[in-house]
Amino acid sequence: MRNNRAMTDSRHRIAVLALDHVVGLDLGTPAQVFGTARDADRRRAYSVEVCTPGRRPVRATPGFQVLPEHGLELLETADTVIVPGVHAGSAMTDGTIEPEVSAALRAAYERGARIMSICTGAFVLAAAGLLDGRRATTHWAHAEEFHRLHPHVDLDPDVLFVDDDRVLTSAGVAAGIDLCLHVIRTDHGSEVANRAARSCVVPPWREGGQAQYIEHPVPRMADSSTAPAREWARQRLHEPVSLRDLAERSRMSVRTFTRRFRAETGLSPAQWLLQQRTDHARLLLETTELSIDQVARRAGFGTAAALRQQLHQRLGVPPSTYRRTFRQPTPSEPTPA
């Protein structure tokens, strides 16, 4: 619920900064995901353009060249700046970038733009000094090298993305899609983000963190998955669901279930259940005319006070404000100014 220009402008401007050795998939992700986002009037919510230093062609890792239409001046007016991953260059080897690139990124941030990175694009943001003292993430395979080059960054290699105020970072490759959908959800609500996800044929919210994808030198013991228990709980968000209930559904002890659940989702069962209930409450607020009390009961919070506390803690606004901001008007209602 940040106060950014996507809330008021019909076309939030996104600048994608491509550097030499840019990762091809990372480069295309913002245009694909943000390009599918439509507001309540089905208008494009974002414009996405690519730039390079000096408007020079840059090499992409799949073997093609990027011929940009803009130079670094594009960052001067962008509402959001995204740095895709790179697989070579000084940002990866010694933690430095061209002074003009660093200055342009810092100027954009100081002006109030939102700054994002995908995968090893975090090395670029760190080299510009934008991640010092912040929590951030990058691809798990590069975490050790990142720690060495940037010890002043609070790196969390276990998550898919990190949202730290106006600086957002994501893990490798497909996690860039997760981050873009998170931004759309933050700017325009769950319904718009869900439609964008369906258009891209990806899940609107991916559970867990990078831990489930990290290669382990020794295969783990084969345990049954907690997925059936999670699906069972999703169908009963309005009911009390205990940790023992979930463990019994999986035919595990509470201790084994908790350990396996965290390994699969990156969250404790209680944290996951709270996240599911919050997301369901947001969707009900956006798409129904249920009262706040009814939304609270259907989402499993029990009381409007509990729902209000949770939304304020997670989003910084009460349910009524969230609904006014994001609920899609019916054909008989006027669109809110």
Residue pLDDT, tens place only, 233-243: 989 999 999 99
Confirm if 45 and 187 have CB atoms less than 8 A apart. yes
What is the pLDDT, as a whole number, of residue 197? 87
Please give the Cα distance from 102 to 125 (Å, whole number): 8
Does residue 126 surpass a pLDDT of 70?
yes
* Residue 33 · residue 48 · CB < 8 Å: no
Q: How far apart are CA 29 and CA 41, in angstroms?
A: 24
| Structure-token pair, residue 167 | 């600086």
Kindly tell me if the per-residue pLDDT of 312 is higher than 90.
no
β-strands 167-170, 161-164 pairing: antiparallel
The residue ranges of DSSP E strands in 87-213, in sequence order, are: 114-117, 135-136, 154-155, 161-164, 167-170
> Which DSSP letter does residue 238 get?
T
Q: Is the pLDDT of residue 155 over 50?
A: yes
d(CA 138, CA 154): 11
- Give the pLDDT confidence score for residue 10 in this predicted structure: 62
Residue 310 has φ and ψ, to the nearest 5°, of -70, -45
Stretch 9-37: mean pLDDT: 91
Over residues 287-310, the mean pLDDT reads 92
CA atoms within a 13 Å half-sphere pointing along the CA-CB vector of 306: 15
Mean pLDDT of 189-209: 77
Handedness of CA 85, 88, 89, 92 (dihedral sign): positive
Residue 237 CB-half CA count within 13 A: 20
What number is the average pLDDT over the span 40-55? Answer: 91
pLDDT at 112 exceeding the cut of 90: yes
